Structure 1
Amino acid sequence: MNSRPAVGFDAVCALLETALRGATRQEIVEHAATATDFRRALVRLRDGMRAHAWTTASLPLNLASSVSRYDTKTRQEGFHALNDWDGLTDHVNADTIPVDVLNFLIENRGEGPPDPIALAILLDYYFMHVLALASLRVWDEGRADEQLDRLQSLLRDLQGSNGSGQLFAADAESLILIATCHYEREERGYDLLLERVQTLSHAHRVQIALGHAASIGSHLRFGFEATYARDTTKTRDDNVADYPWLCFALATLMREYARMQAADVHGLERDRIVEALLNGLSPDARAFVGDHPPASLLTSEAERVEFRDLFRKHRSALLDEFERFRPQDEGYSPLAFFFNFSHNVLKGTVVDALLRGEPWPLTLNDLLTGVPADDSKNTERRALAQTLMGYARAHPSPIRGRMMPVIVYDPATGRQSMSVAMGKMRE
């Protein structure tokens, strides 16, 4: 018989509410900022991040036991939600991702007076990772939908008026994506997590599908173009864990599209569904709309067949709607956005905000959609995507014996990818 956690999910959320809703974060930043220079201020903040504990004027905040317990359970299930993989040394980094970023800032901006804005962004980035870790534990006590809604409330607090102004995610469902979207040497955790996601409410599943279809689409397009030299077989063989997740996302969104089509529903909600379907299909449409799926989809065959049959039923209408989302040289399109891992997109956004000392008012989700086409955010989306590509070009990674950027924004390549996918969907 499984024992209940020493501290339940509600109690952990109560601790986080204390940190996010009151003056706790401001007091942590103010204390760090009293240091004589920025480097010492960052070291003070790092001490708290590593200990998962702070003493403030209001009250002590200690998340150490809860974070340790959740992190241990999550690692046992196959995920390192708080720590990144070092591809050069082939091991998981000892420090958490927020501390890695803080150390980078010490090296690159440590001189001069303390910057309270940068300190606040870093602190929020830390708490975002704690929420992302908690998103993988919402099933522990049997009330996953309720607990995910609780995290949604905490995410609003994190990104609200008491914070730095830096945004991370549009919804709690995206915290699951953020927690699992970096490299894992062993991919054993993804199947279990997908089984759990399938138990969530319809509304939660649709939100997860929107984020994952767009994210995996961009991830696989990058792999196809850069890592696997446009070889579909290699793309499939090296991304076995991604295909069942993409199948779930596409099937979920296809059901929504069929429902909207039957009810003659139009508008932004439908546009986001159509855009995400196109994004998810763009790297390997034939795997889902054809009759010869890759081996990685064998366990998802019923869901894949359901998707295929619904797609074929609505193919004519869908292909017409897809054309509205063809990447243009102006504006912003997620189909022109290619990256190795969503985690690097979010991390790069935070790093740029820290180097500039100014938060980006965009979430990861904002970069996964261009809907509506006249959205005022699209100028900022494009600027951020191009900024991230600039960093990636300045700091390329070794891929197939060549140094390549791991984040690319290229409408021309996006149009080419879409044209190839559209051809496969018409077969």
Structure 2
Amino acid sequence: MTNQNNNMKKWFTLAVLILGGGTVFKLPWLKDAFYVPMMDYFHLTHTQMGFTLSVYAFIQTFGYLISMYVADRFSKKKLMPVALIGIGATGFYLTTFPSYYEILVIWGLFALFAEIAFWPVLIKSVRLLGDSDEQGRMFGFLEAGRGVIDTVIAFAALGIFKWLGEGAAGLRGAILFFSITMIVIAIILYFLLEDDVISAVDEQGQKVNKNKAALEGALKAVKMPEIWVVAFTIFSVYSVYIGLTYFIPFLKDIYGIPVALVGAYGIINQYGLKMLGGPIGGFLADKKFKSPSKYLRVAFAASIIGMIIFILLPHQHLNVYFGVIFTLAFGAIIFTQRAVFFAPIEEVGIPREISGAAVSIACLVGYAPSMFAFTLYGSMLDRSPGMEGYRHVFLTMIAFAALGFLISSYLVKVVNKKKALQQDSESNQIKA
């Protein structure tokens, strides 16, 4: 009965975490649903929109250095609600339609709250919920659940935007809806999440200062090569994932996809694949391959083969629906990888007391492509318009997948070595 209660408690906690994880990025990524209204009513150019996101990415990447300390120093019960309230309160100010420079500051604050105070804490919390044999499923359901919450909240905001006339009032209404939703969920998280037990003693049982313990944990994480191997595996997945963005103009330019179908494709690509890829990736990692690292390696191989075939196809002579189905199938492979790419942190034996620092390092390296990959892929299309430019993009995606295959192969060796040492240790204990 106790095991059943613990299991129910675990999945209930995951559901609460998903609620926060599905809302935290709605304002920072307001452009996903309101790109054109943002330009119109914030009076921004495409370049200014791009620079706003670059400011966010810069603070996001280097802010993970701070979160290495923060994520293990403070409890999720405090950090996650504070982060959501911070984003929501900043969103209220955004409804005043501030100046361009104020918007840069606002997106800097969004990065501070969402990426430094919230995201590493969320990933750490999910890791600590599951045992070593259920990490894939935990992270898979996190990704799928976030997709469901994303969809519901995004369409609700779009409904408010339309209801208020699709103008300035509509945009204000959508932003207010996001802000209020985040603050309400922050309150829910505060009352439903348990406090983390933050140890104030070292391995010898000596009392230590909590600040000192968090800093020492961060330094310990930095010195562990296994974390860096996981981090660069995530880096490779994320570099290929960013390339999925360019399937949309590819289908429009090369296949002549109708405008109405572009919108439907975008919804499936952003939300549908996340909901599909999460549980499938988690199931394959835990049940089929019994190792997230092994699954990631196989998925890299599948994406390399799939993209090579895709490049060689005579696209100008193929049906538009073939292009849609093939690109969505390729995207599904990448989303299954995204669902489980944090799971190997458990496999490589990172101590649970430094989970926050380990996740922060993984995020620092893993999400770094957001600072350069969009520019890299975009410049290829600008330099070589048409099929030639897309071929360059797809070849670069293959290169990143090949890098990921090599790194994940090494990651599998690290995991196998850890398991062998653990088995030897257990057999020696039995003999003794």
The structure that is strand-richer by fraction is 1
Same fold, TM-score > 0.5, yes or no: no
TM-score (norm 2): 0.28
More helix by percentage:
2
Higher relative contact order (CA 8 A, sep 6+): 2
